């Protein structure tokens, strides 16, 4: 009898130990995973049982909260001009989760962040309803409006940066969507979300951060930087050793220019003004893939960027042959960039060679408006020396004054730019992408760097150009920033 009792006791002890182990596994090891699981309804109830904090632009909220008829999910998020701001805010949906800033700083907006513990505790004693904190962005409302309206019904994106700090001033993507249309739990919300998710033009794709394009001739800015930094070019106004036609190494294929351009032995300045493929392709091939990749990576290529919303990595290919390096050096082959990345290129050049880390959150605030975190500008890299950056600035300003970027000129403002028309598709069968990368400077005011890409499926192929489609949009954004700084 005693033996049987011992066996039962041991068996019960094992069961009790297994229960303890399982309980600790769930509470400590799996706690975070279970807490964030979409199947855990308590998370959603907690998130939407009180007012969500706001996202602020120029001192005004662009989001808000309204009461619902649901007993558990009492509040849902609203947006002012949602389609314009969706690339910045993302969405916060009771049914479909969150993206963008709404996701990255969800704990602040819901009030569950550990830094808001004091506010939560006080609300328990005072009986006041718990509220979320707020996100103060670096965005410029006038620049964002100019970017969104400039893109209009065209498919494309705009990124604008303050070169001296890295503050993101505009981040637009079209076609866009209104996050308010599926913020709740109704059947209508579900239908709206599914229609957007499966839309042929992918309106929920943030093209400014999450899509890469062949940058075309705008990448020649990086190639010019590499040529100056490596010592391959020591005088931007001296003839280069550039034959015409230029036959790519290891092939019988010439690297053609767009038209009858003065590219034979052209100076680096003239080559940038008229956008000589032959000059920049040969420079890239002569420097080699290692040198080109090294310079591209100093500008941010081959690495993701957290803004804090993560931008996908732009790409400069490695492990390629010399002719492929020539093509990559003019922004073709497998070279690919986000609009944010190309704005970073323009910003580094405008900031005398220093690249600041781009960011779009200036402050995080408690519900009582106390600042609980503030972003400090920080240097990301130094792709160029100040002397080389100033030479490249002079070249970019020549592009706008008498080259392909004339449509970006602003009276009384120093503007530098580079156009690009990038081929894509099998045998270049797709409609080209129109690019423009630029900066604007005025005395006693911060500069602005802008990158624009337009995928215009409705345009005639011969009418698509960076100077024709993208430059006017960049001009409007730069003008908006300059006017708002006065």
Cis geometry, peptide bond prior to residue 308 (ω within 30 degrees of 0): yes
Q: Characterise 307 by phi-psi region: left (phi > 0), alpha (psi -120 to 50), beta (else).
A: alpha
What are the residue numbers of the active site? 217
What is residue 462's DSSP assignment?
A: G
Cβ distance 454 to 156 under 8 Å? yes
DSSP state string for 50-119: SPPPPEEETTEESEEEEE-S-SSS-EEEEESSHHHHHHHH--EETTTEE-HHHHHTHHHHHT-SGGGHHH
**414-422 sheet: strands from edge to edge:** 168-174, 155-161, 448-455, 433-441, 414-422
Q: Which 3 state secondary structure label does DSSP give 168?
A: strand
Q: Is the dihedral of CA 326, 286, 301, 378 positive or negative?
A: negative
Q: Which 3 state secondary structure label does DSSP give 420?
A: strand
What is the spatial distance between Cα 464 and Cα 436, in angstroms, rounded to a whole number? 12
Q: Which 3 state secondary structure label does DSSP give 453?
A: strand
∠ CA 447-311-165, rounded to 5°? 25
- Phi then psi for 448, rounded to 5 degrees? -140, 135
Q: Are strands 60-61 and 310-311 parallel, antiparallel or unpaired?
A: unpaired
* Burial (0-12, 13-18, 19+ Cβ within 10 Å), 352: middle
Residue among 479, 407, 476, 406 at smallest CA distance from 442 = 479
- Phi then psi for 74, rounded to 5 degrees? -75, -25
Give the tokens for residue 83.
Answer: 């389609």
What is the spatial distance between Cα 257 and Cα 442, in angstroms, rounded to a whole number? 34
Residue with tokens 């005088």: 235
Length of the chain equals 486
């Amino acid at each position: 009898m005693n033996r049987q009792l011992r066996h039962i006791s041991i068996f019960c002890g094992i069961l009790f130990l297994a229960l303890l182990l399982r309980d600790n596994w769930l509470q400590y090891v799996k706690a975070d995973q279970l807490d964030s699981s979409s199947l855990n309804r308590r998370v959603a109830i907690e998130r939407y049982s009180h007012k969500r904090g706001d996202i602020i632009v120029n001192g005004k909220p662009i989001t808000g909260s309204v009461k619902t008829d649901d007993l558990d999910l009492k509040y849902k998020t609203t947006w002012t001009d949602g389609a314009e701001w969706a690339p910045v805010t993302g969405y916060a949906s009771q049914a479909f989760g969150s993206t963008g800033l709404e996701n990255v700083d969800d704990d602040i907006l819901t009030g569950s962040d550990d830094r808001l513990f004091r506010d939560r505790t006080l609300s328990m004693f005072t009986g006041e309803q718990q509220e979320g904190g707020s996100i103060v962005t670096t965005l410029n409302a006038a620049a964002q409006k100019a970017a969104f309206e400039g893109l209009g019904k065209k498919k494309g994106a705009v990124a604008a940066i303050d070169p001296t700090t890295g503050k993101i001033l505009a981040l637009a993507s079209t076609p866009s969507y209104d996050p308010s249309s599926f913020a709740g739990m109704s059947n209508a919300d579900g239908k709206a979300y599914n229609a957007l998710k499966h839309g042929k033009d992918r309106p929920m794709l943030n093209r400014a951060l999450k899509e890469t394009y062949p940058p075309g001739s705008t990448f020649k800015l990086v190639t010019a930087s590499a040529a100056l930094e490596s010592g391959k070019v020591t005088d931007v106004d001296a003839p280069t050793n550039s034959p015409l036609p230029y036959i790519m190494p290891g092939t019988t294929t010439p690297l053609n220019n767009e038209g009858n351009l003065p590219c034979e032995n052209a100076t680096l300045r003239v080559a940038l003004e008229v956008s000589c493929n032959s000059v920049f392709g040969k420079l890239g091939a002569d420097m080699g893939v290692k040198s080109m990749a090294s310079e591209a990576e100093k500008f941010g290529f081959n690495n993701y960027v957290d803004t804090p919303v993560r931008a996908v990595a732009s790409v400069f290919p490695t492990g390629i042959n010399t002719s492929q390096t020539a093509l990559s050096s003019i922004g073709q082959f497998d070279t690919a960039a986000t609009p944010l990345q190309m704005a970073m290129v323009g910003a580094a050049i405008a900031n005398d060679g220093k690249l600041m880390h781009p960011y779009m959150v200036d402050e995080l605030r408690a519900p009582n408006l106390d600042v609980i975190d503030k972003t400090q500008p920080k240097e990301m890299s130094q792709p160029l020396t100040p002397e080389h950056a100033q030479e490249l600035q002079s070249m970019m300003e020549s592009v706008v004054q008498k080259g392909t970027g004339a449509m970006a000129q602003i009276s009384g403002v120093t503007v530098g730019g580079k156009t690009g028309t990038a081929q894509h598709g099998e045998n270049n069968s797709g409609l080209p992408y129109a690019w423009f990368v630029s900066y604007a400077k005025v005395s006693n005011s911060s500069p602005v760097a802008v990158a624009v890409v337009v995928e215009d499926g409705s345009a005639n192929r011969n009418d698509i150009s960076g100077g024709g489609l993208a430059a006017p949009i960049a001009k409007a954004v730069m003008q908006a920033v300059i006017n708002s700084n006065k």
